[in-house]
Amino acid sequence: MTTVNGQQPQTLFEKVWNNHLVRPQTDSAPAVLYIDLHLIHEVTSPQAFTQLRERGLKVRRPQNTLGTMDHSTPTTPRGLDGIIPVADAQASAQLDVMRKNCADFGIPLFELGTENQGIVHVIGPEQGLTQPGMTIVCGDSHTSTHGAFGALAFGIGTSEVAHVLATQCLLQNKPKTMAIRVDGRLSEGVVAKDIILAIIAKIGVGGGTGHVFEYMGEAIRGLSMEGRMTICNMSIEGGARAGMVAPDDTTFEYVAGRPHAPKGADWDAAVAAWRQLPTDDGATFDAEVVLDADALVPMITYGTNPGMGMSITDRVPDPDRMGDLSQKQALDKALRYMDLQPGQPLLGKPVDVVFIGSCTNSRITDLRLAAQMLDGRKVADNLRVMVVPGSQQVKAQAEAEGLDEIFKAAGAEWREAGCSMCIAMNGDQLQAGQYAVSTSNRNFEGRQGKGGRTFLASPLTAAATALNGVITDPRQIITERELA
């Protein structure tokens, strides 16, 4: 076997894993993994702090912990007093508990309405806290987002949140690795979201269970950091807890100059170390998946999990043509919930809401894509279009670029930062029976409001749909414009 400097070739994942072993895995105990950065939010942390209090424990490393408020926070525009009103008493109480926990344990908190607040997976990269080679966890499954920087980042449960708060460590069994290679180049109108929807449609929602993905290939290298984040974000929808992209110049340029990025000589040393992280030649993966970006078109989901996706020009599949009985039953159930017929096209299907936001697609490049589509036009009548920036920083940047004016002039709502209708905990929700095209990551039954029905798609497809009020292929609008 080939060796690099006398060592076995290693994957990116293995390098980061090995660098963080406080104790290796044995037959009788999992590995003890050191965590560099722990992000917390109001929904999955309260019971962990309760456990700490019950046992008289402190937070071991408040300086490696950061809190934000995002899930149950309102995104309604501020009142005249500049305050964002929390309408729901239970949510308000949860936010109070978050404030108290962070204050009592010395954890910095991006408080609702302040300049850095935002969705937990948007703020980490934005602040330069998310860096290559780190281990990052959060009580939130979309922590996989941070893997775009070549970090090992994954979601944990609340018991594990308590473990990390108290010890900065986690007990983990070593996962397997899966290489996901996306060769070729994307055509116009096709973006990162379409790549990841196509991958999940191919492998299924359980396809990556037990694995960490590494996304590679020309199409991935060609993506911006924000595009890579969109892809890593949805690794969990393919069953993988984590997805990673090897750091490169695109990564370093993105991190450079951010508030928490290393400076001066530290920066040079950091970059030199980061350049050692990519997977060595000859390293092996436990599984491999290959996708051709040249053949990709805009994607959309038709069912009730993110694996039920297809090209936007396809027709809804027929349960009777499913090979396996349980797949047939699953599709039957999904189509009943979605009230769709086998063989039906989705193009031209009227929708009630378009939601542009979430930790998948609420960053500045996502908003720019949507704004380009909507610039100088009006969204369709009888359609609610919500644009929810991922953070206050994204919001400020968008406003500096005048994107907010484009959205408002088009008839879309320009809102405060938060998770909003991605998870429908804060009052932003679909009504039963409504259809939405959403740039978020989950189309589970009721995810965006009880009885609501979600089609997942890219910000381009969402904005194109907003213009027509019916599901629209963004390439159609792009072509019409070029001809005009």
Site residues (vs ligand SF4, CB under 6 A)? 70-71, 119-121, 140, 142, 358-359, 419, 422-423, 440-441
Residue nearer to ligand SF4 on the CB measure, 119 or 310: 119
For the CB of residue 340, give the shortest distance to other proteins in the complex, in Å.
Answer: 18
Under rule CB under 8 A, residue 381 binds other proteins: no
Would you state the structure tokens that stand for residue 21, as one six-digit string? 């072993």
**CA-wise closest residue to 191 among 310, 296, 311, 306:** 296
3-state secondary structure of 453: strand
For the CB of residue 305, give the shortest distance to other proteins in the complex, in Å.
Answer: 5
Under rule CB under 8 A, residue 78 binds other proteins: no
H or E segment and range at residue 180: strand 176-183
Report the partner that residue 83 touches, choosing among other proteins, ligand SF4, none (CB closer than 5 to 8 A by kind).
none
Under rule CB under 8 A, residue 8 binds other proteins: no
Residue nearer to ligand SF4 on the CB measure, 17 or 355: 355
Angle at 175 between CA 171 and CA 176, to 5 degrees: 165
Query: What does each C-alpha distance from 347 to 44, 254, 310, 431, 434 come to in angstroms?
Result: 38, 36, 12, 22, 17
Report the partner that residue 131 touches, choosing among ligand SF4, other proteins, none (CB closer than 5 to 8 A by kind).
other proteins
Which residue from 2, 5, 7, 326 is in contact with other proteins, where contact means CB under 8 A?
A: 326
Residue nearer to ligand SF4 on the CB measure, 356 or 463: 356
For the CB of residue 441, give the shortest distance to ligand SF4 in the complex, in Å.
Answer: 5
Under rule CB under 8 A, residue 218 binds other proteins: no
3-state secondary structure of 387: strand
Rg from Cα positions in the chain: 22
Which residue from 333, 342, 347, 476 is in contact with other proteins, where contact means CB under 8 A?
A: 333
Q: Which residue has the tokens 């920066």?
A: 267
Would you state the structure tokens that stand for residue 248, as one six-digit string? 């490169």
Torsion angles phi and psi, residue 136, rounded to 5: -135, 130
**Of the ranges 178-186, 195-203, 392-400, 441-449, which one interacts with other proteins (CB under 8 A)?**
441-449
- Pattern 100-139, other proteins, x by CB under 8 A: ------xxx------------------xxx-x--x----x
For 90: left if phi > 0, alpha if psi spans -120 to 50, otherwise beta; the answer is alpha
Under rule CB under 8 A, residue 406 binds other proteins: no
Residue nearer to ligand SF4 on the CB measure, 308 or 359: 359
123-134: b (≥16 Cβ within 10 Å) or e: bbbbbbbbbbbb
Which residue from 3, 8, 63, 344 is in contact with other proteins, where contact means CB under 8 A?
A: 63
Give the dihedral of Cα atoms 89, 94, 96, 99; nearest 10 deg.
-160
Report the partner that residue 301 touches, choosing among other proteins, ligand SF4, none (CB closer than 5 to 8 A by kind).
none
**Of the ranges 73-81, 84-92, 315-323, 392-400, which one interacts with other proteins (CB under 8 A)?**
84-92
Which residue from 250, 314, 342, 444 is in contact with other proteins, where contact means CB under 8 A?
A: 444
The Cα–Cα gap between 478 and 281 comes to 41
Under rule CB under 8 A, residue 181 binds other proteins: no
Report the partner that residue 358 touches, choosing among ligand SF4, other proteins, none (CB closer than 5 to 8 A by kind).
ligand SF4
- Report which DSSP code applies to 315: B
For the CB of residue 217, give the shortest distance to other proteins in the complex, in Å.
Answer: 25
Which residue from 2, 5, 7, 28 is in contact with other proteins, where contact means CB under 8 A?
A: 28
Report the partner that residue 205 touches, choosing among ligand SF4, other proteins, none (CB closer than 5 to 8 A by kind).
other proteins
**192-211: which residues touch other proteins (CB under 8 A)?**
205-206, 209-210
Report the partner that residue 119 touches, choosing among other proteins, ligand SF4, none (CB closer than 5 to 8 A by kind).
ligand SF4
The Cα–Cα gap between 305 and 33 comes to 31
For the CB of residue 358, give the shortest distance to ligand SF4 in the complex, in Å.
Answer: 4
Would you state the structure tokens that stand for residue 230, as one six-digit string? 């969109």
For the CB of residue 383, give the shortest distance to other proteins in the complex, in Å.
Answer: 24
H or E segment and range at residue 39: strand 37-40
Q: Where are the alpha helices (DSSP H) in 256-391?
A: 264-274, 325-338, 364-374
The Cα–Cα gap between 212 and 420 comes to 28
Under rule CB under 8 A, residue 169 binds other proteins: yes
For the CB of residue 66, give the shortest distance to other proteins in the complex, in Å.
Answer: 4
Complete DSSP assignment for 219-283: HHHTS-HHHHHHHHHGGGGGT-SEEEE---HHHHHHHTTSTTS--HHHHHHHHHHHTT-SPPTT-
Report the partner that residue 256 touches, choosing among ligand SF4, other proteins, none (CB closer than 5 to 8 A by kind).
none
Total residues binding other proteins (CB under 8 A): 88
Q: Which residue has the tokens 């995002």?
A: 70
Report the partner that residue 46 touches, choosing among other proteins, ligand SF4, none (CB closer than 5 to 8 A by kind).
other proteins
